[in-house]
Amino acid sequence: MAALCQKCNKEFHPSNLIAGMFCFPCYKKVLKSAKRGTKILGFFASFYLITPIIAGIVSLLIILAGLSWLLTLYAAIWIFISLIGAFPHMHGVMTPKKVEETERNYEDQLQKYIPGKISYCHYHPTREAIGRCGMCIKPFCTEDFYFQRIRIPKGPYRSYSFEQPAYCLKCGDDFKNNIKISPILFTLLSVGIFLFFELFYPDSSLYTIVVLIPLFICVVALPLGFLYLRGKLYRKSF
């Protein structure tokens, strides 16, 4: 039985596909992209906890300078920055430290990986693995996996549903337990500060509100999205 790597479309035994999707060479590229992405997220996350303070100070300076028309643009940009900074605080997996840990796990398992050879479950050595965990990269059988169903695009108007053995039980629990909703309050505080200033300087309030509504929806949708990701992980019943 063979399965396709979703990146290079080459055939591999499922026991050697990471997260049920990527072969070892392709996952190295995935980690490289993730490392770049988490560095960007980490930069914005470094000052995320003081974003409401910065929002208030700069908004006040804009008003005192008589540039109230600039408040709308600043609000849109700052809320977007705040949302990006919220990611690592809301999910511990989206941090450079976690990606580096996964990278070390990858290098460790790469040394043990033999191309073309079937890998067996880390906990049940007599069972063929059905995939490798997306975090610790170790092979596991069905009993030791968290699964999730995703949709993979195929062409501009087509996609197919794919059941992905995503994380082992230990890493899956870590994934779910690292999701925190409370950090989004700092972004909500920034939104509240902008609306507060608009109450006293209503010259562009209608335009500002029209701009802020979609951003406010994004603020609310972010924690809901993380809760959705957590809820998508499931185990097989035996």
Smallest CA-to-CA distance from 209 within 221, 197, 224, 222 is with: 197
Answer whether 20's CB lies under 8 Å from 131's CB.
yes
The structure tokens listed for 225 are 């999205």
**pLDDT band at residue 206 under the 50/70/90 scheme:** low
**pLDDT band at residue 157 under the 50/70/90 scheme:** low
pTM of this prediction?
Answer: 0.83
DSSP string spanning 180-215? -STTHHHHHHHHHHHHHHHHH-GGGHHHHHHHHHHH
User: Would you list the domain boundaries of the chain?
Assistant: 3-232
Whether the per-residue pLDDT at 176 is higher than 70: the answer is: yes
**pLDDT band at residue 49 under the 50/70/90 scheme:** very high
The structure tokens listed for 233 are 């992980």
CA distance 66 to 161: 54
Whether the per-residue pLDDT at 208 is higher than 80: the answer is: no
Q: What is the pLDDT of residue 81?
A: 92
- Tokens 């994380």 locate to 167
Which residues have CB under 8 Å from 39's CB, separation 6+?
A: 96
DSSP string spanning 80-92? HHHHHHHHHHHBT
Smallest CA-to-CA distance from 102 within 163, 167, 146 is with: 167
Who wins on pLDDT, 155 or 34?
34
- Average pLDDT in the 48-64 region? 91
CA distance 201 to 33: 43
- Average pLDDT in the 227-236 region? 88
CA distance 176 to 93: 10
CA distance 148 to 126: 25
Which amino acid makes up residue 106?
Answer: Y
**pLDDT band at residue 160 under the 50/70/90 scheme:** low
SS3 145: strand
Answer whether 123's CB lies under 8 Å from 144's CB.
yes
**pLDDT band at residue 155 under the 50/70/90 scheme:** low
Whether the per-residue pLDDT at 62 is higher than 90: the answer is: no
Residues 102-120 have pLDDT tens digits of 999 999 999 999 988 999 9
Q: How many CB atoms neighbour CB 236 within 10 A? A: 11
